[in-house]
Amino acid sequence: MKKILLASTVALSMAGFAKTTVYAEDSQATNNVQSSEKIATNTVSNEKKNQSEAEKATSQTPETKEQPSKETVVEVVNKEGWQKENNQWRYYENNQPVSNWKKIAGVWYYFNQDGIMLSSTIFNDYLLNNSGAMAESSWVKIDNQWYYATENGKVTRNTWKKIAGVWYRFDESGTMLSNTIYNDYLLKSSGAMAENAWIKLEDKWYYATASGKIIRDKWEKISGSWYYFNKDGAMLSSQWKEKYYLKDSGAMAKSEWIFDEKYKSWFYLKSDGIYAETQWVGSYYLKSFGYMAKNEWIFDKDYNAWFYLKEDGAYVTGNFTINGKDYTFQSNGKWISDTAAYYKVKPITANVYSASGKKLSYISQGSIVSIDGTEAKDSRLPVKISGLSGYMNKSDLVAVSSDSDFIPHYTTDGNYLYHELSPYASIRVAPHSSSMAIGKKYYSADGMNFENFTVENPFLFRDLRKPTNYTAEELDKVYSLMNIKGSRLAGKGAIFKEAEERYQINALYLIAHSAIESSWGRSKIAKDKNNFFGIAAYDTTPYDSAKSFDDVDKGILGAAKWIRENYIDNGRTYLGNKASGMNVLYASDPYWGEKIASIMMRINSQLGEKD
């Protein structure tokens, strides 16, 4: 009997069923130990039974020659600890793979239901590194993306995190953001928030301030140079920003000449960075918008003299031949001539032509034009007026002197800029600018570009196809607010709005237009013919030629339809001046568009600035 028990013990030992105690995190480990003990006990009992039956069989069977055993001995390996199987790691206890969380040698690991260790992944918000260990206060790279685990092993999500003194941003998935802009903060390729630093993203340069935020839509002085950043925060370079030029490096040019290949011209940037215009820089003259004059005549009203600029841009002195004709210039470049600088239009209307002789527009009697400075063509003089440059017949013009005749100009009262059209009439054209000086006379060929500033009536170039923001009831208030009495148009706000909706023409413009053409609906043509827009009221025979309408409503609607078909549909969608817009052909008055825009501005101010 002792031999049998000994054999059983040896067999159990060989089979790997040694009684072993395993320490685990919970009761499952204890159950595993109890199961092992149970298996071992049952095995011993069965062996005893088999041995007893074998002995009994031996006593009953005659002795025969001993035969070799046909049973195959299989060696069973008891798995414990880490095992790599099919390139997957498992951890065994009591010959069984562990599942769920397991702390091994002080490090947490997670094993799925098949016992496979997870690695380089996020499980239930816990970050597991490439060794499978749960990360704690450390970085982990997964699929080329960086993540950061907090001290409790959880991935950092949708928040800012300061790590080793540097700020990082993580999205909702826990991925560290890099090479991007987040909520105006600039993040480098390392993911670190940039501070007082330049960063290049997709071939564009950005700059982060001390707060880490990018600069948008503004100028910034960095290391002594000015830079401009657009609305997206990108640095501008090799281009103009208003009157400033940004070089290839992005730095603003100042006190230097710049040749712009796009415009094929030299420009001079002053010490404040603004391009010089309508002024001299040494022997060179910079025209409107900063272009350097060359191979052309320039009239300088400050010197009341003509100058000729050569190919290299420098003014001519002494005797000089231009296009086969000899001229004489003073040592300061002034041309010795008695040519007048201004002319007045003599006939009721006079045409303005292009260099090739094409009619560009027409100008009303009494209008003052200035000499353009280009060479005269046969019997025509080069002129400028209301933004238009062209040629007019000398026979249509009479010379005037700025010393004895009134020359239209602009002045400011500190609130608004006014166009002084005569000693008795002026129109408000734009808000006052800090660049203007009260009491000073300003001259402009187009009403927008002046010596050192630019202005624009907010309604002069507005698209007239866009509706006003005012209701019919609000438009009805216009006539009382403007102190207009006896107007046939009073109370017609609904009709103006109907015209706006039917023909897609701004109702506020229609009211202002009718105010100019019909004296706010009180002129004889308005009263007799219901014509409030001067339709067909030609300069030579305005009353006789003016078109008639059946009533006031039809006068408004019919005119709107006519304007739509003859101007808006032909691309003249804004008031403009003599160079472009409706003013080119609608009226001979060179400042017709400016006047209507001025009325629109005044009405808008009275009604609450909704437009």
Q: What is the pLDDT of residue 30?
A: 32
- My answer on whether 163 and 202 are in the same domain is no
Instruction: Report the number of distinct structural domains present in the chain.
Output: 4
Residue 144 counted as domain residue:
yes
The C-alpha atoms of residue 561 and residue 565 are separated, in whole angstroms, by 6
**CATH label of the domain that carries residue 521:** 1.10.530.10
Q: How far apart are CA 517 and CA 521, in angstroms?
A: 8
Is the predicted pLDDT of residue 395 greater than 50, yes or no? yes
Give the dihedral sign, CA 49/51/54/60. negative
pLDDT of residue 332: 86
Measure the CA–CA gap between 472 and 466, rounded to whole angstroms.
16
Is the model's pLDDT at 244 over the cut of 60? yes
For residue 44, the model assigns a pLDDT of 31
Contact in structure between 362 and 351 (CB atoms under 8 Å): yes
Answer whether residue 3 shows pLDDT above 80. Answer: no
Instruction: Tell me the CATH number at 378.
Output: 2.30.30.40
Q: Tell me: do 534 and 584 sit in the same domain.
A: yes
Euclidean distance between CA atoms 173 and 278, whole angstroms: 59
Computed over its alpha carbons, how large is the radius of gyration of the chain? 47
Confidence of residue 317 (pLDDT cuts 50, 70, 90): confident
Which residue carries 């060989």 as its tokens? 14
Long-range CB contact pairs, 47-54, < 8 A, 24+: 47/4, 47/7, 47/8, 47/11, 48/4, 48/5, 48/8, 51/4, 51/7, 51/8
Find the mean pLDDT for residues 64-80. Answer: 59
Q: Is the pLDDT of residue 130 over 90?
A: yes
**Four-CA torsion 585, 590, 595, 601, nearest 10 degrees:** 80
Q: Is residue 597 part of a domain?
A: yes
Q: What is the pLDDT of residues 404-428, one digit of tens each?
A: 789 999 999 999 999 999 999 999 9
List, in order, residues 6 or more apart from 541 with CB less than 8 Å away. Answer: none
Residue 224 lies in a domain: yes
Average confidence (pLDDT) over 188-215: 96
Looking at the structure, tell me whether residues 374 and 499 fall in a common domain.
Answer: no
The pLDDT confidence band at residue 72, using thresholds 50, 70 and 90, is: low
Helices H, strands E: what count in the chain?
A: 10, 37
What pLDDT does 74 receive?
56
Q: Tell me which of 350, 376, 400 is where a domain ends.
A: 400
Residue 33 confidence (pLDDT): 30
Residue 504 shares a structural domain with residue 571 = yes
Same domain, 582 and 477: yes
HSE toward the beta carbon, residue 181, CA cutoff 13 A:
19
Whether 479 and 525 map to the same domain: the answer is yes
Other C-beta atoms lying within 10 Å of the C-beta of residue 17: 19
Average pLDDT over every residue of 100-111 = 96
Asked if 130 and 229 sit in the same domain, the reply is: no
The DSSP H or E segment spanning 601 is helix 592-607
- Shared domain for 129 and 207, answered yes or no, is no
Which of 400, 429, 449 is the C-terminal boundary of a domain? 400
Average pLDDT for residues 16-23, to the nearest whole number?
32
Q: Classify residue 281: in a domain, yes or no.
A: no
**Which residue would you say has higher pLDDT here, 188 or 57?**
188
Mean pLDDT on 35-45? 33
Q: How far apart are CA 181 and CA 458, in angstroms?
A: 35
Note the pLDDT of residue 554. 97
Q: How confident is the model at residue 221 (pLDDT cuts 50, 70, 90)?
A: very high
Distance between CA atoms of 512 and 599, rounded to whole angstroms? 6
**CATH no. for residue 164?**
2.10.270.10
User: Looking at the structure, do residues 581 and 478 belong to the same domain, yes or no?
Assistant: yes
Question: Amino acid letter at 472?
Answer: A
Q: Is residue 412 part of a domain?
A: no
| Residue 507 · residue 475 · CB < 8 Å | yes
Whether residue 525 is predicted with pLDDT greater than 90 in this model: the reply is: yes
The rounded distance, in Å, linking the Cα atoms of 239 and 115 is 64
| Residue-range definition of the domain harbouring residue 161 | 121-176
Across the chain, what does the average pLDDT equal?
87
The answer to whether the pTM exceeds 0.85 is no
The secondary structure of residue 65, as a DSSP letter, is P
* Of 297-306, 316-325, 419-428, minimum mean pLDDT range: 316-325
Is the residue at 138 inside a domain? Answer: yes
Q: Are 411 and 418 in contact (CB under 8 A)?
A: yes
Strands across the sheet with 88-93, in order?
Answer: 81-85, 88-93, 96-97
Residue 511 has pLDDT above 70, yes or no: yes
Q: Does any domain span residue 205?
A: yes
Task: Report pLDDT for 73.
Answer: 55
Q: What is the pLDDT of residues 435-478, one digit of tens each?
A: 999 999 998 888 899 878 899 889 999 999 999 999 999 999 99
Q: What DSSP character marks residue 290?
A: G
Q: Report the alpha-carbon distance of residue 596 to residue 464 in Å, rounded.
A: 12
Question: How far is 561 from 553, CA to CA, in rounded Å?
Answer: 12
* Token pair belonging to 407: 């020359």
319 in a structural domain: no
- The per-residue pLDDT for range 246-265, each reduced to its tens digit, is 999 999 999 999 999 999 99
